[in-house]
Amino acid sequence: MAKTSLTPWFAHGAPRESAAVNIVCFPFAGGTASQFSEWKGLFPEAYGIYPVLYPLRERRMAEMMPESVEALAASLVEENAQVFEKPAVLFGQCTGGLIAYEAARCLKAQGKTPRLFVASGSTPPDNQAIGADVAAMSDADLLTFLLESGRIDEAAVKMPAFMNYYFPILKADMRLLGKYRYPADFKIDCPLLCVQADEDSLAPAEDLAEWQAYILGPRETLTVHGDHYFLAENARVIAQKMCAMLER
């Protein structure tokens, strides 16, 4: 029987009591748990689906983001012990990969190891375009950076809904990520799946492959069609690949 989340940290998922493995999904900067809303229909009952709902979104709009990526990941893991009692898959979409990586570090401190780490359209911790300079940018400079890097387009900037709701979220996320400094000595002892899109200029194949330096287990790669925003159109094939790796 399915059970609803007891904490504010998850939404749009399927927390199944009978699940043998829990899949914890980390959205990209500016994103929210709803981007994984279809996933509960893509995985069998053996998997619980836990899309992470960061502060500033949906029912957590009144909550501020923590001061660091490390604090964000630590709060998630510490406040959701019941989710991580079972083997967990950590799925990081784009910059969500950094938060997933820090969550793995928190789990390591508890003597736990992920069942699988998925870096989807995500560059590794030492290869990030979001640096300290981004964290210190004015709103105008940040918008220019987002436009020039292809993370948003001109149409979005002209939309009041984007500027009033999404931009403050994206700004908070980018500044949080810009302050992040990775721990060079930590490696995750589990298999790695890299999901790359054939037209993704923000996370090209050669950058995704660099995740291997952070993972002790074997790496597999799934290539899908699309640009950086490929997740929705390829969710089914990604789920199938994940299940194939988990069921070996």
Spans of all domains in the chain: 21-125+183-247, 131-179
Mean pLDDT confidence for 129-157 = 85
- Percent of the chain past pLDDT 70, that is, above it, reads 97
Name which residue leads in pLDDT, 77 or 134: 77
- Percent of the chain past pLDDT 90, that is, above it, reads 79
Q: pLDDT at residue 128 above 80?
A: no
The predicted pLDDT at position 2 comes to: 42
Q: pLDDT at residue 183 above 70?
A: yes
Whole-structure pTM value:
0.93
Mean pLDDT confidence for 87-93 = 98
| Confidence class for position 84, pLDDT limits 50, 70, 90 | very high
Name which residue leads in pLDDT, 130 or 37: 37
Q: In whole angstroms, give the CA distance from residue 125 to residue 127.
A: 6
In CATH, the architecture of 21-125+183-247 is 3-Layer(aba) Sandwich (3.40)
What CA–CA distances, in Å, run from 61 to 58, 168, 169, 223?
6, 11, 9, 35
| Confidence class for position 6, pLDDT limits 50, 70, 90 | low
Q: What is the DSSP string of 155-199?
A: HHHT-HHIIIIIHHHHHHHHHHHHT----TT--B-S-EEEEEETT
| Confidence class for position 129, pLDDT limits 50, 70, 90 | low
